[in-house]
DNA sequence: AATTGGCAGTCTTTAGTAGAGAGTGCCAAG
DNA sequence: CTTGGCACTCTCTACTAAAGACTGCCAATT
């Protein structure tokens, strides 16, 4: 069984290793921290920690580095979430202070988060599964091309290009647009899909194919809305921490650029009682991210829904600071986008 | 003066160096290519090329590598534009074939381009300086927060969040929305800004502040539309080619993530008579990208405007193939988005 | 005048060796 | 349970030597 002091030793090993990227030896521990015991005693504790697989030695007779399991214990016990520095708080205010386009807000958020944590930051677009349709607009771009725009009451806008049969004159399109808005306005997405499916019946037979085409596109659009999107920033930070990876960071960057992977990862992470999730090292192996850790939490969107945001980086990261940063940014973003 | 054969030598040096990342020696040239002369003769030609600063030797007595100037000559005169392989053509069809959301089309385009070239790909959003307003929608998200949505006839959709005074009831907002649409529908962006500025006068005095607030936001939104955006993909490719950079690729990736830099770079590149631009090595030094080359061309958007797309990578890249790929993708995208 | 073979000279790369340094594990004593 | 001591292991650095790759130049050849 690992003693109280043993856990303290684990903590300083994690801290020193994260700070220096050097395996931590018993001697440097007693030098830098005041344990009041000798190096030999620390060595005994370290032997215990190694038995529990919380730390490991890269080679016989070198210092120790934390294992994934060690990081996990460290994070779980991490009670003292250091508050952000005043400079960091100011950065959040400045970056997110002024109101703007939703895209811009999320873009700024993700850049901010990557700067605060020095990691790759991710923000999921607000999901809108519970939202209602606000407005539908059909825009004729060319004789055989139409753009459909869907606006929901949660502030999401979706657009889609569509090739249509050439018989669609401007007048009919505008008539169809009016009809769509009266049929769908204020209606939930699932119900809307239903109504769209029955739409063609209400038009003259010769119009049915065109209407059906547009209705099908809109249904797709409505349902595809569950497919979420991500914005990412700070890929350069991954390069900076390249040495923390055993091989090339190429596959890691590739996995991170694959949105589907990350969305699945976000989805499968178990939040703790505070809604915060930490996934460490091998826990992400299934996603090709076995050497990275992911920190994520939810933020409130205008639909009363929760989307997620977080950072991803090498397992050797400053969990304390990064968790605090992710939390703070999520809180601020919730205030900005959420319902009051 | 460099002879005809000298230029042939330059060509094979560029080709071999790009393929192998090894300095190219006279012996390997006569081995791999049938020049019909001996290595010593090639050496004489290489001395000439070196005098003209088209190639350089990393150290005394190693093979030669092309200089920026050498690549420039290669691109201008020597690169034969090989047509894309059938597999590549198929990839374009499959990736861009089905109609979809504008965001999705551009997202797919940029991923496709990065896969075809194995470089970082960039696509600029369609600009809409010449487009007209199609629809304005005001969405009340909370008692004191409104989202404005602007749809143009070129298929661009812009949204913005806005904190308002709390006296804005739903009814008035919908009334204002109707008024906005009748005032602005079909109007060009510049004229629209004018009309918006005068909008508050047409409402009762007690409403003026609210109307003004919204009008101001819309004006900003209308004018901010000239600010273009970029999508990027394939950052992982930069890591793959890491060894082509003298220092770390960190500053390079940082510069690439900075959209403003790239938009300026795109803007300053001189297109040739085909509308194609190639910028090599030191020519990009002002942007912190002195070790990269940029290939770019325009594509037609629905507004009859031209936006740009291209790739960026180490100067040591396969210009022939990449130029062909950028061309082909731009052509395809023009067909997809442009006016018929 | 262009081309060629030969050869000395230069520089990089690789392998191998030795010594210093850091850290552990274990043991016997406190 | 803690401590000091010590042998042992492993890495890291510097240094040396040998091998390999090319060039540059020269004198001979076509």
Place of tokens 């030609």: B45
Mean pLDDT for all residues in chain B:
88
H or E segment at A120? strand A120-124
Q: Which nucleotide is nearest to A39 (CA to C1')?
A: D3
Residues in contact with B154: Cβ distance below 8 Å, sequence separation at least 6, in sequence order: A141, B126, B128, B130, B131, B132, B301, B302, B303, B305
Lowest-confidence segment of A70-74, B55-59, B75-79, B325-329 by average pLDDT: B75-79
Q: What percentage of chain B exceeds 90 in pLDDT?
A: 53
Instruction: Quickly list H helices, B153-258.
Output: 170-184, 189-197, 208-224, 235-240, 250-257
Q: Which nucleotide is nearest to B5 (CA to C1')?
A: C2
Q: What whole-number distance in Å separates Cα of residue B181 and Cα of residue B202?
A: 15
B58 against A193, higher pLDDT: B58
Strand D at less than 7 A from CB of A37: yes
Contact B300, B124 (CB under 8 A): no
Q: CA B47 – C1' D25 distance (Å)?
A: 12
Res. B22: pLDDT tops 80 = yes
H or E segment at B140? strand B133-142
Contact B154, B126 (CB under 8 A): yes
B153 against A211, higher pLDDT: A211
Give the bases of strand C that a protein CB approaches within 7 Å.
3-6, 9-12, 22-27
Q: Which nucleotide is nearest to A40 (CA to C1')?
A: D3
Triad B66, B72, B76: Cα angle to 5°: 130
Q: What whole-number distance in Å separates Cα of residue B236 and Cα of residue A177?
A: 43
pLDDT score, position B337? 80
pLDDT score, position B41? 96
Q: What whole-number distance in Å separates Cα of residue A10 and Cα of residue A78?
A: 12
Give the bases of strand D that a protein CB approaches within 7 Å.
2-5, 8-11, 21-26
Neighboring chain A residues of B99 at a CB cutoff of 8 Å: 160-163
**pLDDT tens digits, residue range B74-117?**
999 877 788 899 999 998 988 887 656 777 789 999 999 999 99
Count Cβ neighbours within 10 Å for each residue of B87-108 and write b for 16 or more, e otherwise.
Answer: ebeebbeebbeebbbbbbbbbb
Strand D at less than 7 A from CB of A48: no
pLDDT band, very low/low/confident/very high, at B173 (cuts 50, 70, 90): confident
Mean pLDDT, range B222-235, rounded to an integer: 79
| Among B224, B197, B192, CA closest to B211 | B197
Interface A:B, Cβ pairs < 8 A: 124
**Which mean pLDDT values do the consecutive 10-residue runs of chain A (340 residues) have?**
91 96 95 92 96 94 94 88 85 76 85 97 81 79 77 74 74 84 82 83 82 82 70 94 91 93 93 93 96 96 82 97 95 80
Mean pLDDT, range B3-28, rounded to an integer: 95
Neighboring chain B residues of A163 at a CB cutoff of 8 Å: 99
A293 against B337, higher pLDDT: A293
Strands of the B133-142 sheet, one edge to the other: B133-142, B145-152, B157-163
Mean pLDDT, range B168-192, rounded to an integer: 82
Classify the phi-psi angles of B21: left when phi > 0, otherwise alpha if psi is within -120 to 50, otherwise beta: left
CA distance B286 to chain A (A): 20
């Amino acid at each position: 069984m690992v003693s109280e002091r043993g856990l303290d030793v684990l903590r300083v090993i994690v801290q020193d290793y994260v700070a220096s990227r050097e395996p931590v030896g018993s001697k440097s521990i007693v030098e830098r921290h005041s344990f009041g015991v000798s190096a030999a005693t620390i060595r005994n504790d370290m032997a215990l920690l190694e038995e529990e697989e919380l730390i490991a030695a890269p080679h016989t007779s070198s210092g120790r580095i934390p294992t994934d399991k060690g990081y996990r214990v460290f994070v779980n016990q991490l009670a003292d979430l250091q508050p952000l520095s005043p400079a960091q708080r100011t950065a959040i205010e400045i970056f997110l202070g002024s109101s703007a386009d939703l895209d811009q807000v999320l873009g700024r958020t993700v850049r901010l988060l990557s700067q605060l944590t020095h990691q790759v930051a991710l923000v999921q677009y607000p999901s809108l599964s519970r939202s209602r349709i606000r407005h539908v607009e059909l825009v004729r771009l060319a004789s055989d091309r139409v753009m459909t725009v869907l606006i929901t009451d949660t502030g999401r806008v979706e657009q889609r290009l569509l090739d249509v049969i050439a018989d669609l004159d401007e007048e009919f399109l505008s008539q169809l647009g009016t009809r769509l808005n009266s049929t769908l306005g204020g209606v939930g997405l699932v119900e809307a899909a239903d109504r769209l499916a029955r739409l063609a019946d209400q038009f003259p037979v010769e119009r049915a194919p065109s209407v059906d085409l547009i209705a099908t596109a809109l249904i797709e659009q409505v349902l595809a809305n569950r497919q979420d999107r991500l914005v990412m920033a700070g890929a350069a930070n991954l390069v900076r921490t390249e040495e923390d990876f055993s091989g090339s960071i190429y596959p890691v960057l590739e996995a991170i650029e694959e949105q589907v992977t990350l969305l699945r990862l976000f989805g499968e992470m178990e939040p703790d009682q505070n809604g915060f999730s930490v996934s460490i090292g091998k826990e992400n192996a299934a996603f090709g991210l076995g050497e990275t850790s992911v920190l994520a939490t939810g933020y409130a969107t205008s639909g009363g829904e929760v989307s997620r945001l977080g950072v991803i980086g090498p397992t050797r990261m400053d969990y304390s600071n990064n968790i605090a940063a992710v939390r703070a940014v999520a809180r601020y973003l919730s205030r900005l986008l959420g319902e009051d």
